[in-house]
Amino acid sequence: MRKLGTLLVAVVVLSIVGAAQAEDQKAAKALFNGKNLDGWSYHLVDPNVKMEDVWRVEDGVLICKGAPLGYLVTKEAFKDFCLVVEWRWPAGKEAGNSGVLLRISGEPIGFMPRCVEAQLKHGSAGDIWAFRGFSLTGPADRLRKIENHKELGTFVGVGKSKNAEKEQGEWNQYVIKLVGDTMTVEVNGERLSEASGLDVAAGPIGLQSEGGEIHFRKVELIPLEAN
């Protein structure tokens, strides 16, 4: 009888865990479907260039040429979420710059809108930046401010604690959590930075074209709720 009771408890526990896992899977939203760019729009500094001239999908991978400057942008807006992005800088080519743009608001000025960014520049993944007046603060020892930049004006950010990127040609993973006014980022399983005091409003998500070919194979979002 005792063994039967233990077995029943185990079955119930497994059922609950399975249901929870299924619910998590339902909650995850693939922003990139691995086939095409349905659900996305774009902005480029050259209005004569088309989206397909810069971004294409091959074998389930989203390839960004890196020029001209601009970004892909979701048609849907998001406020509080966990975003998983997998990317690589292709081997044999010069690694460049890019970024994951979050809570985009207003019209872009040049190639950058008002937003907070999880940096993708090779060697700098894990940095957080806020542009066009987007508010941000963070640890004093890693807080940065760039003033009077030729194209971006004045902007602020938080530097990563260390480098966690893999070798060029290998896939990296970003886990970006943005809840309320707080943002944390992990690169390849290591938490590298945190920012607070962020503007709280829903906005689209963007992937930058910024001077170097970059590949993406996963862009997946799980909605969260602020406490």
3-state secondary structure 38-72: CCEEEEECCCCCCHHHCEEEECCEEEECCCCCEEE
For residues 140-153, average pLDDT = 94
* pLDDT for 3: 52
* pLDDT for 23: 44
Cα dihedral: 64, 120, 200, 181 (round 10): 160
**Sheet containing 40-44: which strands, arranged edge to edge?**
40-44, 70-74, 206-209, 99-109, 112-119, 128-131, 153-158, 143-149
Confidence check: pLDDT of 203 > 60? yes
pLDDT in tens, 149-200: 999 999 999 999 999 999 999 999 999 999 999 999 999 999 999 999 999 9
pLDDT in tens, 105-137: 998 999 999 999 999 999 999 999 999 999 999
Confidence check: pLDDT of 21 > 50? no
> What pTM did the predictor assign?
0.88
Q: Residues 69, 203, 199, CA angle at the centre, nearest 5°?
A: 105
Confidence check: pLDDT of 104 > 80? yes
Lowest mean pLDDT among 18-32, 60-74, 80-94, 212-226: 18-32
Confidence check: pLDDT of 27 > 90? no
pLDDT in tens, 37-54: 999 999 999 999 999 999
For residues 26-41, average pLDDT = 94
Confidence of residue 7 (pLDDT cuts 50, 70, 90): very low
Residue whose tokens read 């339902």? 26
For residues 87-105, average pLDDT = 96
* pLDDT for 1: 52
